[in-house]
Every structure is written in structure tokens, then in C-alpha cells.
Amino acid sequence: MSEFRGYVGKSLEFLKTNKIGVGDSVKILADLTYLGIIMPRYEHSDDKHLVLKLKSGYNIGLEIEKIEKIEKIEKIEKISSPEKSIDKKESLEKNPTLPKILLLSTGGTIASKVDYRTGAVTPVLTAEELNSSVPELAKMANVDAEVLFSEYSENIMPEHWIKIAEKLKEYSNSNYSGIIIAHGTDTMHYTSSFLSFALAGFPIPIALVGSQRSSDRASSDAALNLIGAIKFLVNCKTNGVYIVMHKDENDETVACHMGTRVRKSHTSKRGAFQTIGDNPAFIIVNDQIHRNMKGDFFKVKEFWPRINLNTKVALVKYHPGYDSNLLGKIIEMNYGGIIFEGTGLGHIGKTMYDNVKKANEKGIFLGMTSQCIDGRVRMTVYESGRDLLNLGIIPLENMIPEVALVKAMWALGNSKTLEDVKQLMLLNIASEISE
């Protein structure tokens, strides 16, 4: 029953008594006078509060017992379904002098709108909807929009990476100046890593763009990230895969991070993404694009699509007390690769050594990264590191652990022998190993 979604007990009775439903615009008299829209509640919420979306875009909770009066102001019409939206769209005039940009949506906050009647988040499907919500876009480029799927980023799996890469490959000879992938932020750097390897040498730039805060919030970064991404794609004169997001809390600065050197470093800040070990590859300040990184970012010059992968790779984060039997189970499950996230310069405890030896003898690829945020793996410094080298573990320089995981999946999927895997893992394809 979407009209009272999430409301139970006293709160449900309160709404029914006052003939108020989710999505209604109301005036509430309590300690102050509030104007806003009644929002749905989470499935396991208490029954003592209403949730109200204020005009500013923020949600607040109001205790029912402290509400003196509630009055319905108007009815908010339910947002039409995507199918109806497409049927009723107005044609958007294209400016033939502007460059063309393709936007592929995979879901996430940036490519969505809120239906206040049901609380559902639905994808923005058309260029018309995009341009009506961010009118600045139409002045910079002709944007074509297409939905591949609509998933929260935690639900995007390697099979989705394959679908994205195959779709991008279709546009490798297109007349687009660049391609935007609207993506949820939580696993964006995994997707950008895979695309960097699978589509090495792609002739035009690809920008993964997300939003930390939804478009119905006053502090949303969705529009500014999209605007920054289009400025970058149209003017950067480069190729490769990037993540384009706010650099910090400043609304005038957007950062373009290389897809293999970036990590989400904060849960909620708008400037959540950081290039590890360096400055972002490009910074956009208003209309100026500043290139930070020197030399060639991408070692593969010709388009080199290899879109296979093998997910039988484990990421093992070593810690004191780690049960080596867990590593034994991974070996028994016929995994093809293990990436260790070791301590310091690249170490794991000696209780692991017997199973590391078994894995090496079984022909499993073994790679070492570090739990440290910055710096390189150097396994020759201490005796323990040299022992691990002798057991077959390959040091992966300063590759980020998540990037090493994705690269190992990709390398296994595109190799016939263990030696092939080792060669690909040590080949610096998209600056996953920085100079």
C-alpha cells in the first residue's frame, strides 16, 4: 500500500485520521510551522514519527505527539512511468555546431529522480529529461542518453562490467567526442578499472560520473559533476577512462581521476574520491581545465579490446590472527588468482607460508599489494618479504588492492597460461602502476 508506505501503528493511524498520504504537500504546526511533502519511511521504522521533505530538499522527522495540527495543501501528482515519459517527451532541438556526447546510465543517484508518491527512485531515461533537469548541458553538447540497466552500485557485478564494455566497443568508431557512464559511487572504481584494461587504447575519453547526494537535495552534486564531465570530454583532447567528481566541497572545482589510480575515500563527502599517491589527472575550475600529470597516462596506444574475465580471484586482507585455513579453502575451491593485501612493504605472517607454497605449486597467480594508502610494495627489504618472493608471490608495485583484484580477473580471462597472467599483471597498461 504505497499511499502509506513504511508507516505503521500510531503513525499510520495518524495519517489515516487526517486523510494524509505519502506524497501529499502539507502544512504542519508543531514547535515551528513546517511546509513540505510527506515522505515514505524505511521498512523497519518506528511508529512515532512522520518524515517531511522541506522545500530546501532536506528531510526531517517530526514526532507525532508534538504535532498540533496538520493540513493538506495540495496533491502532488505521481511521476509518470518511464514508458509514459518517453511517449510524452517533447522533441529536443539539436545544435549542429555542438559536439556530441553519449550518456550511458547504469543506475546510481546521479541518473535518477524521486517519485514522492511511492518513494521509488526511477532512472532518467532521455536526453529531454536530462536537459530539463540540467539545462546547461544543451549549451555545451548534444547529449544522447541510453539506459543499459538500473542498479545500485553494490549490485553491479563483473557481468555488468562486460555489458558496459561491449556497449562501449560498439561506439569505438562513432562521432561522439566522449562518453559518460552514470554510475553509483560505491563500486565505481572497480568498474573504471575493468574498463581501463578491457578497452585499453579506446580512441575517445570515457568519464564515469556519480553523485554523492541525490538531485532533490539542496547540496546535490549531480548537476555540477555532469557539467564538469561534459566540459572535460569536449575540451580535454585525451583518451582513456576517468572518474569525474567534485574535488572538494567547493562547487567550482571538479576532479578527473584516472580510472586505475582512484579510490572512494569518504562515505558521504561530495569530494569523496581521491587519486592515490598523486594529484588528479585533470582539474576543472570553472571553464579552465588544468592537466596535472606529466607524460603518457596510457601505455597502450592502439585500441586493444579484451573483454573477457574470470572472477575466480580472491582478495585476502591479512591481519594478525588471520586463519590460514581460509586460504586453504580458497585453494581447494580452484581459484586462479589470489591478491594479498599485506602489511607495510608487502608482508603476511609466517602461519600463511605453507598454504602460500601449496597455492604456488598448484599454479595459482599470487600478487602482493599493501594495506598502506600510499607507497610501493618492496619485498626485498626484509627477510620475510624475500621468503614470500621465494614462495612465488609477485610484488605489484603501488597498484591499489581493488585495482589489482580487477586486473587479475581480467588477466585470467585473457590468458592461457600462468606466465601469460604474470606478464599481463606486470605490464603497465593504464598507469595502474604509477611512475
202 with 172: CB under 8 angstroms? Answer: yes
126 with 133: CB under 8 angstroms? Answer: no
Catalytic residue, candidates 186, 278, 387, 420: 186
Q: Which long-range contacts (CB under 8 A, 24 or more apart) does 216-224 make?
A: 216/53, 216/57, 216/113, 216/114, 217/57, 217/58, 218/56, 218/57, 218/58, 219/57, 219/270, 220/57, 221/245, 221/246, 221/270, 222/109, 222/110, 222/134, 223/133, 223/134, 223/136, 224/251, 224/254
Q: Any residues with CB less than 8 A from the CB of 382 and at least 6 apart, and which?
A: 345, 347
Determine whether 185 is an active site residue. Answer: yes
Catalytic residue, candidates 113, 231, 264, 407: 264
Determine whether 109 is an active site residue. Answer: yes
Determine whether 33 is an active site residue. Answer: no
Catalytic residue, candidates 126, 185, 187, 369: 185
Q: Any residues with CB less than 8 A from the CB of 412 and at least 6 apart, and which?
A: 309, 310, 312, 313, 336, 337, 365, 421
Catalytic residue, candidates 109, 126, 187, 275: 109
Determine whether 88 is an active site residue. Answer: no
By C-alpha distance, which of 224, 228, 233 is closest to 203?
233
Catalytic residue set = 109, 185-186, 264
